[in-house]
Structure 1
Amino acid sequence: MITVFGEGRGFRVVWLLEEMRLPYRLRDVDMLAGVENDPEFLAINPGGFIPAIRDGDVTMVESIAIMEYLLGRYGPSPLAPDPQDATFPAYQQFLHLGEAGLAASVFFLTGARHFAPETDRDNWTVRQAMHVFTSRLGLVIRRLAEAPYMAGEVFTAADISVGYALEMARKNIDFALGEAEQAYLGRLRQRDGYRRALDACPATRGWWAS
């Protein structure tokens, strides 16, 4: 059975597993208590960050890489268009943009807002991170003016990637999402796979509801 270590971006992995109806076990990782006190997890990911998975003899880290692995190993799946499909370029772009352009920027903005000294909460690097986030968000907004989902007319794993990042922005940095983004998140939240994933992830459920 696949073991998912940690929530956070691990919610993306759990959501995908629920959409694919694959059996898994979620193993909590208490980052606040310190991963140095969790030797089992450090044996999986010596880098000490979440998420990670163990699937038989396979161990992997990085949420988007894990998603691509699961789709490749246990597919084909409608959640990942065939490379020859006309929707594949948009799917691939937004699958990665959800982390590299959106969630990664929100991560640093979260640290600046909640943990940095007061004098460092609006420095050059913080402003650059916000610029990266808003410029990439502009691509999402433009896409939503064309289609209901990132790859087009149907939901794919790219929406798991982008949707999670928008939830991060909404909750972690109190970013005011526009009507199109809010409606998009509303569509994602109605999915059975999303609801099952949220039921399986108590920390994420509490974080988004608080």
Structure 2
Amino acid sequence: MITVFGEGRGFRVVWLLEEMGLAYRLRPVDLLAGVEEDAEFLAINPAGFIPAIQDGDVTMVESIAIMEYLMARYGPTPLAPTPHDPAFPAYQQFLHLGEAGLATSIYFVVGARLIAPESERQNWSAGQARRVFESRLTLVTRRLAHTPYLAGETFTAADISVTYALELAQTSGGITLGEVEQSYMARTRAREGYKRAMETCPSRKAWLANPA
């Protein structure tokens, strides 16, 4: 059985597994308490960040890489258009934009807002990270003005990637999303796979219910 270590970005993996109907278990990892004494997790990822998975002899970290592995290993799946599908370029772009352009930049904004000492919360780098997020968000907004999902007419793993980033930005990053993004998130979060994943991830469910 596939083991997913940690919520956070691990929610992307759990949601994908629910959409694909694959058996898995979620093994909590408490980053706030520290992982120094969590020998089982550190054996999986000595760098100590989440998510990670163990699938038989396969161990992986990085949420987007894990998603690509699972879809390739257990597919084919409509969540991943084939390279010859006209939807493939947009799918590939937004799958990675959800992490590289959106979640990574807003992560540093969240850290500055909620964790940094008061005197360091308005630092230049946090402002730069916010500007990076906002510039990449324009690509999402422009795309969604023409299609219901980021790859086109059909929900794909790119939507899992980007929805996670938008939730992070809205809940903890101090970002106010527009009507286009709000309508989009209503569509993606209405999926049964999303709802099942939320029930599996109680910490995430509580976090979304209490935005910072």
> TM-score with structure 2 length normalisation?
0.98
The count of corresponding residues between Structure 1 and Structure 2 is 210
Corresponding residue for residue 161 of structure 2:
161
Cα distance in 1 between the residues matched to 2:62 and 2:182: 26
Amino acid at match of 1:101: G
Amino acid at match of 1:147: T
Corresponding residue for residue 102 of structure 2:
102
Cα distance in 2 between the residues matched to 1:106 and 1:95: 16
Matches within 5 A, 1:171-186: 171-186=171-186
Cα distance in 1 between the residues matched to 2:117 and 2:4: 34
Cα distance in 1 between the residues matched to 2:174 and 2:129: 15
**1:116: how far off?**
1.2
Cα distance in 2 between the residues matched to 1:58 and 1:92: 24
Write the deviation string for residues 80-132 of structure 1: whole angstroms up to 9, x where unpaired. Answer: 00011111000000000000000001110011001112222122211110111
**1:4: how far off?**
0.1
Cα distance in 1 between the residues matched to 2:167 and 2:69: 24
Corresponding residue for residue 92 of structure 2:
92
**1:175: how far off?**
1.1
**1:205: how far off?**
0.6
> TM-score with structure 1 length normalisation?
0.99
Cα distance in 2 between the residues matched to 1:123 and 1:163: 27
Moved more, 68-77 or 122-131: 122-131
Cα distance in 2 between the residues matched to 1:89 and 1:175: 27
Corresponding residue for residue 120 of structure 1:
120
Cα distance in 2 between the residues matched to 1:19 and 1:92: 18
Cα distance in 1 between the residues matched to 2:165 and 2:173: 11
What secondary structure does 1:37 align onto? coil
What secondary structure does 1:82 align onto? coil
Q: Is 1:66 aligned to residue 66 of structure 2?
A: yes
Cα distance in 2 between the residues matched to 1:208 and 1:53: 24
Cα distance in 1 between the residues matched to 2:203 and 2:127: 29
What secondary structure does 2:36 align onto? helix
What secondary structure does 2:54 align onto? strand
Cα distance in 2 between the residues matched to 1:173 and 1:131: 12
RMSD of aligned residue pairs (Cα, Å): 0.6
Cα distance in 2 between the residues matched to 1:109 and 1:155: 28
Corresponding residue for residue 4 of structure 1:
4
Corresponding residue for residue 23 of structure 2:
23
Amino acid at match of 1:66: I
Structure 2 gaps of 5+ residues are: none
Amino acid at match of 2:188: L
Amino acid at match of 2:14: V
**1:58: how far off?**
0.2
Corresponding residue for residue 196 of structure 1:
196
Question: Taking every aligned residue pair, what percent have the same amino acid on both sides?
Answer: 70
Amino acid at match of 2:180: A
What secondary structure does 1:180 align onto? helix
Amino acid at match of 1:194: Y
